[in-house]
């Protein structure tokens, strides 16, 4: 499905170079290894919970690769670790969010251009449209708008917030790219049981929004499609929806048991070719990379995971007094007294 008009801007980049293709592979390996390790961290008690993304590396790395961090802003869900890694967010700071400390993580959203992780299903979509509308109202000196990139899944697409956001964005021509990772499952419910018509992309037509349904397991296709969407929105033409067809190869979260709603045979049949192995085969066949490169990429991923894990384990507990500094704009006298007492007690512990 492609209801996308020709790009009305010269902003879309050309074909990916061999160097960029190798970089994309290295990013996918880093994300794959960190994702698998994060599940192990949860089992070891290093983090209390995690939402895996096994099988969705191409969709996340490819879309994150298209972001211009000097002007764009990304609004993730709880499953966009691969996007964060691709954008260059400090991963100790990002993964600290999964320690479940109330403050929500240590990375700076303004500096990284990645909004805080959003646990509310479809909650980040409204935030993205609001930010994008603000970009249009403010304008830019060069006439090229900052674009909001917002993520949600096929399950979240049935939330009312998504429909309100798409309607508002279309009416106001907000520069936002709605990126749907259709991984086949809304927790335990398959897409066909909760998306009428079986396609999220088809819904965009109802709001006059151009849409692309793409192979979300081909990282090069994802990069090209996302760049194309960014160019369209940046030129002032309004929002675009991309539906990246992929597959969730593991549980919805570390507290989920996918064996209760699908068999291993169903998972193998539905998942198709591994996006990482698929891309590896392509690079080998084209002579763009060799076995030495793949070995180096894996070694770098393992070293990076060890550094991130060590950094997370070194984090101490957050001081409870932060609540008074960050949550309340103006604290009441009673809260000020409570904070003072808390600080005094903490100093004597």
Local structure of residue 114 (DSSP, 8 states): B
Q: 273 and 58 in contact (C-beta within 8 Å)?
A: no
Please state, in angstroms and rounded to a whole number, the distance separating the CA atoms of residues 104 and 93: 10
3-state secondary structure 192-231: HHCCHHHCCHHHHHHHCCCEEEEECCCHHHHHHHHHHHHH
Q: Which member of 261, 278, 282, 318 is catalytic?
A: 261
Within the chain, what is the greatest distance between any pair of CA atoms? 69
Q: Tokens 């939402």 label which residue?
A: 51
Which residues, at least 6 apart from 32, have a Cβ–Cβ distance to it below 8 Å? Answer: 54, 57, 276, 301
How far apart CA 294 and CA 272 sit, in angstroms, is 22
Rounded Cα distance, 187 and 258, in Å: 8
Whether 94 is a known active-site residue: answer no
Are 165 and 126 a contacting pair, CB within 8 Å? yes
Three-state DSSP at 270 gives helix
- 82-92 in b/e form (b: 16+ CB < 10 A) is bbbbbbebbbb
Half-sphere exposure (CA, 13 Å, Cβ side) for 98? Answer: 29
- Alpha carbons within 13 A on the beta-carbon side of 307: 10
The angle at the Cα of 65, spanning 59 to 68, to the nearest 5 degrees, equals 135
Q: How far apart are CA 247 and CA 259, in angstroms?
A: 16
Choice among 136, 252, 280, 309 that is catalytic: 252
Respond yes or no: is residue 252 known to be catalytic.
yes
Active site residue 98: no
- C-alpha to C-alpha distance for 147 and 140, rounded to whole angstroms: 12
Active site residues: 248, 252, 261
């Amino acid at each position: 499905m492609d209801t996308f008009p020709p790009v009305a801007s010269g902003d879309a980049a050309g074909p990916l170079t061999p160097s960029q293709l190798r970089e994309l592979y290295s990013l996918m390996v880093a994300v794959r290894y960190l994702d698998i390790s994060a599940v192990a961290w949860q089992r070891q008690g290093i983090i209390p919970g995690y939402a895996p993304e096994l099988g969705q590396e191409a969709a996340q790395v490819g879309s994150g690769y298209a972001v211009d961090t000097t002007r764009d802003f990304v609004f993730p869900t709880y499953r966009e670790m691969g996007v964060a890694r691709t954008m260059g967010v400090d991963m100790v700071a990002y993964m600290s969010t999964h320690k479940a400390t109330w403050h929500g993580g240590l990375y700076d959203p303004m500096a990284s251009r990645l909004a805080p992780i959003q646990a509310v299903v479809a909650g980040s979509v409204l935030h993205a449209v609001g930010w994008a509308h603000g970009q249009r109202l403010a304008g830019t000196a060069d006439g090229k708008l900052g674009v909001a990139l917002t993520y949600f899944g096929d399950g979240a697409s049935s939330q009312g917030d998504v429909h309100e956001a798409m309607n508002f964005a279309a009416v106001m021509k907000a520069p936002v790219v709605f990126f749907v990772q259709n991984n086949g499952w809304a927790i335990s419910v398959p897409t066909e049981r909760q998306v009428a018509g079986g396609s999220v992309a088809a819904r965009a037509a109802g709001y006059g929004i151009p849409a692309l349904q793409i192979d979300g397991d081909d990282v090069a296709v994802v990069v090209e499609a996302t760049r194309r969407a960014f160019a369209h929105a940046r030129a002032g033409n309004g929002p675009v929806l991309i539906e990246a067809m992929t597959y969730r190869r593991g549980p919805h979260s570390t507290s989920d048991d996918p064996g209760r709603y699908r068999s291993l045979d169903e998972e193998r049949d539905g998942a198709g070719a591994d996006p990482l192995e698929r891309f590896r085969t392509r690079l080998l066949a084209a002579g763009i990379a060799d076995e030495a490169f793949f070995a180096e990429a894996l070694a770098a991923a393992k070293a990076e995971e060890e550094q991130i894990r060590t950094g997370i384990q070194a984090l101490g507990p957050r001081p409870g007094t932060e609540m008074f500094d960050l949550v309340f704009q103006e604290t009441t006298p009673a809260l000020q007294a409570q904070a003072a007492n808390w600080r005094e007690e903490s100093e004597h512990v």
